[in-house]
Structure 1
């Protein structure tokens, strides 16, 4: 075997050995890399320092104005505004025509005062009267001694009478005020010898047609020119 041939065979074997070695190294490196990536990866490093801001750019030139747009639709009507200040007083107008006369309100009048200048005997049950001092509305009849209500309302009635006793023993004088047959009050006076004056008043609410009168209880009721028996009544207000 010659030397050149031996040298060529040696070089070829060296090349094959190098190739096998490289192939083994590549497989071993790949396996090692897979193992390190799966189990042996190190701690991440610190973030880098932020970079500096860039230089601001130059402002561009103002563009040309655009075309005017179309007018939009009218919006909804707004709320009323606040009231304005009061204006100055205007000139006085012309005087108007005189109006028609109004209807006069009806005035309801009812009042009376009846007088009796004679004595009342015990036999007289209804006390009648001899004269009328006044009789507005003509609601009192002196011959029957009765007041008849014409206007419903509240009335005031008052009576006054004189008693006289010639004896020394004590006597009584009783007089009733009656409404429609029902005694409203009894005026009583006990007295000895001599004169005694008695006065009484009351307020009643009456309806149309109600009647009020005085009734004697078998006693002597005195009346004279200087001291008459009086019976008075008048409407306070109507209802």
Structure 2
């Protein structure tokens, strides 16, 4: 049976892994990744399309300089995109986050296993926890890079704005503000780092204890060892 110290530390790491899993689910499910205001010219006036969207769905509304406001509409991101590059990066971001979700789930499973058993010498031990937590963190970081690249580099908001409004002409400018669905991925990174730190301290303490226990044998007289 694992010691009380090991159980408490791996239980803490398990909580951070489960929290990471939950936050990834929230990030995937909520449509508050970015809010954009995209300005276009239209014959005799200027139109501002305001969008708020995530990886799957969003809302948009139009404001005309004359003061007219068109009612808010809902759209599906995949259906609204005609550009293959924009669609590919959206799909890539979703896939990366799903893989991060699976990594977080596996990490939670490994930490749970370690709270009730002692698989030190196998991949189920601290090595497995290090691996899955690190992978989850890296994948989350990749998702945080891919999405702004799509918004800023591929003009994702402008592409979606065209699906929300017809007869838009020249693009005049855009303003983007990233929402909580995007920034909570920083929390995922912090939770994974916290898990790694907890397991590292436990692993380091266990190694130090083993080293201390080995010293009396190393320092014992040869005749005592032979005896």
TM category (shorter chain) comes to under 0.3
Q: If each structure's helix is expressed as a fraction of its own residues, which one has the higher value?
A: 2
Normalising by structure 2, we get a TM-score of 0.24
* Higher RCO (CA 8 Å, separation ≥ 6 residues): 2
- Return the index of the structure with the highest Cα Rg: 1
Q: If each structure's strand is expressed as a fraction of its own residues, which one has the higher value?
A: 1
